[in-house]
Amino acid sequence: MAEDGKNKVDQLRQRYIVYQLLADAFFAAALAALIWSFGYTLYALSWIWGVLIFLLIYGFGLLLSRWWEVGTRPIITFLDLKYPDLEESSGLVLKESSTLNPLEKMQLAHVEDILESVPLTQKQFAYRLRLGILFFLVMPIFCWEITWLHNDWRIGKLKQNTSIVRSLKNNIVEKVLPQVNAVTIKISPPAYTRKAWREQDKFTIEAEEGSMTAWRLSLNVQAKTVELIFNNGDKLSLRKAAGYDYEGQRRITKSGFYQVSIDGKLSDLYQLQAIKDNPPVIHIKTPQQYTYIDAGEVPRVTINAALDDDYGIRNAFIYTTLAKGSGEAVKFKEQKIDFGASFSGQNPHYDLQKMISLPPLGMQPGDELYFYVQAQDNYNQLSRSDVYVVSLQDTAQLLSMDGLIGGVSVKPEFFRSERQIILDSEKLLRDKDSTSKEAFNTRSNDLGNDQKILRLRYGKFLGEEAESDINPKEEQNDAVSDPKNFGNAAVVLDKYSDKHDNAEDAQFFDPGVKAQLKATLTEMWKAELQLRLYKPEAALPFEYKALRLLKDLQQKSRVYVAKTAYNPAPLKMEKRLTGDLSKIIQPTDHQIVKPGSDEYRALKNAVGVLESLRYEKISSNVYIHTLQLANQQLSERASAQPELYLAAVSALRKIISTGRAKKTDISTVEKAIHRLLPVGKLLPSASQNAVDMGLSSGYYKNLDNK
């Protein structure tokens, strides 16, 4: 009797363990699905990985919980708790019957009766299992969300590229010879592209230039020769591998097309596209193509460049050339500057930044710096940017008095003044540490005042009103307030009428000079502002700019005529003015320009034949010959650009071989021909005369006789 109870408890235990294991399995599966879907989206893992992850999680879970170690004791406790009828004595079933006392034996008999009625399926046992199943059922929603909606997470370029290629090829419906069961093409891109090899089951190939491509054809019959014919000539015979399989390989260096020949039977034409590696593209965002650094500005340039390549960039450098001196004494110094970035990753895109301080390069005012960026990709293709120029203002020449002493000086005092302000500002900056703040500010303000006076003086040249005009009260001897002038309209008019138009008319500057003078005044305004704000260092660039503009103005008034040496041949006095032309021969030129034979003649002829094919079958050999010539031209084009012309070549071949044509074939060929043909050249031609038995010519004759 005791055995029955023990069995029952054992069964319950087993049931409990099975439930827990199942629950673990569901949990692990849900978790594995989640992880795999992440992995699939991000790294394109295969489903096998999903299974592996599941096994790993499940095994780990089992190790942690060790359900098989659960004994009967917890089951007994559970039963005692759930069924009060057992009277806390279900443990008796586990005891050896020999060790039981009579009371216990009685109780055992009672307990076993009750145990008999206890159901095997316990709700509490399945609690975790239900949770697990729920979890497992909800998980697909998350997985779907991750795998389908987050395509943008697919940073794995490899996966992306192959998927694009796959979709592209899937669009093409290929016609395969009936002998071919299947084809496997393995494309191994060259190492520098860092792309993994891939396999495809279509004949149309799109491969990186230099890829090793291996064909493996499974036929359904034994064939003597299996060949691939490239671009109408070059042949690659496939050797027999095993059974009905044939294989061969070749490196793809250029685009074109090929076809399969099995014992002389030719297949359709298949496209062969070589993807070229482009040299790196360099885009310099800063500085500008021509940068001019005025004196007083910080002498440095920040080079901001973006480099892009198809596969990876190996290195990039800045090549600088420093031009010192002027005229014949110009000297060049070349230097190669590292960007300071690491190219060990050979990434396809780099954003590079380099700040070049000019003085350490040995650049002084008046010098010019030329630089360009050169980048090399991992296929050792070089490309370089345009040359950029940075020049520093030459203060020495600007401040020199050479031009003024030369005698052409028109208004020397003005130029000296701006120069003087610059010198004073620089001196003020030098003395900054040794003077008090108040003294510094006062001197700066005074300089501002000087600048103002200078500006007003130049303003007069432009006909601007003088300061005094703006505030008439300040004027000392006001003619209007003089009692003697009371009622003198001329004086009043003179005082209050606006006469600056006359002042402008009085100038003999041309508009260009005036514009430059105005620009000078603007710079002076800005310099004055900074001086008044006690910032002579900020005012310096404006002062220099004003001085430069003034200097330019001064140079404009000069003319330079170079000295030349010319010795005319001596005149023959006896021949002079005789008008004798007898020895002058009349030149004649005779040329025959052979118009180049029209290279598109065959295609143009084919258009007419295709047109007639829409109504009837090809009858004459002349038509077929015309189409064959056109086919030759199209094939040549197709070997260069298979993606454009290959369909037309195979359509035209079909037309030639069958002698009849489908509408779609004709239109494919016509489209290709239209793409190839150049637009007709417009040339003069004569119109035709009307046939009128000489009626109109008789009219003209009589018209003249009237």
Residues 602/650, Cβ–Cβ less than 8 Å:
no
In whole angstroms, how close is the CB of 642 to other proteins at the nearest point? 20
CB of 641 to other proteins, least distance (A): 17
At residue 326, the 3 state secondary structure works out as coil
- Closest alpha carbon to 255 in 231, 268, 242, 272: 272
The nearer residue to other proteins, 394 or 643, going by C-beta atoms, is 643
Give dist(CA 476, CA 627) in Å, integer: 103
Counting Cα atoms < 13 Å in the Cβ hemisphere of 300 gives 8
- CB closer to other proteins, 327 vs 680: 680
The residues with which 374 forms a beta bridge, in sequence order, are 317, 384
Largest distance between two CA atoms of the chain: 169
Burial class (CB in 10 A: 0-12, 13-18, 19+), 309: buried
Q: Output 567 or 586, the one with its CB closest to other proteins.
A: 586
Cβ atoms within 10 A of the Cβ of 595, count? Answer: 5
Termini Cα distance of the chain? 153
Q: What are the helix (H) ranges across 248-311?
A: none
Q: For residues 298 and 584, which CB has a smaller minimum distance to other proteins in the complex?
A: 584
Question: To the nearest whole angstrom, how small is the minimum distance from the Cβ of residue 677 to other proteins?
Answer: 4
CB of 570: closest distance to other proteins in angstroms? 23
Residue 342, classed as helix, strand or coil, is coil
- For the bound state, the minimum distance from the C-beta of residue 386 to other proteins, rounded and expressed in Å, comes to 23
Q: Which is nearer to other proteins, 103 or 584 (by Cβ)? A: 584
Name 617's Cβ contacts closer than 8 Å, sequence gap at least 6.
Answer: 659, 660
By C-beta, is 607 or 624 nearer to other proteins?
A: 607
- Report in angstroms how near the CB of residue 350 gets to other proteins at its nearest: 38
Which residue's CB is nearer to other proteins, number 153 or number 699?
699
DSSP line for 17-49:
HHHHHHHHHHHHHHHHHHHHHHHHHHH---HHH
User: Min. distance of Cβ 648 from other proteins in angstroms?
Assistant: 11
> What is the nearest approach in angstroms of other proteins to the Cβ of residue 589?
4
Helix pair angle (601-613, 663-676), 10° resolution: 160
CB of 147 to other proteins, least distance (A): 36
Closest to other proteins by CB, 510 vs 589, is 589
The amino acid sitting at 97 is S
What's the order of all strands across the beta sheet hosting 300-308? 281-286, 300-308, 349-357
Q: Which residue, 344 or 586, has its beta carbon nearer to other proteins?
A: 586
CB of 622 to other proteins, least distance (A): 14
In sequence order, the 6+-apart residues with CB closer than 8 A to the CB of 44 are: 154, 156, 158, 159
The residue (of 318 and 606) whose beta carbon lies closer to other proteins is: 606
Give the residue carrying structure tokens 């086919």: 631
C-alpha 223/C-alpha 228 separation (Å) is 14
CA dist 90 and 108 (Å) reads 8
Question: Going by C-beta distance under 8 Å and a sequence separation of 6 or more, which residues neighbour residue 659?
Answer: 617, 618, 624
Q: 235 or 614, CB closer to other proteins? A: 614
> What is the smallest separation between the CB atom of 576 and other proteins, expressed in angstroms?
16
- How far is 5 from 543, CA to CA, in rounded Å? 110
Q: Where on the chain is the footprint of other proteins (CB under 8 A)?
A: 579, 581, 584, 586-593, 595, 603-605, 607-608, 611-612, 615, 666-668, 670-671, 673-675, 677-694, 696-697, 700-701, 703-704
Sequence-ordered strand ranges (E) for 309-462: 313-324, 331-338, 349-357, 368-377, 382-384, 388-392
**Identity of the residue, 99 or 705, whose beta carbon is nearer to other proteins in the bound complex:** 705
Q: How far is the CB of 623 from other proteins (least distance, A)?
A: 13
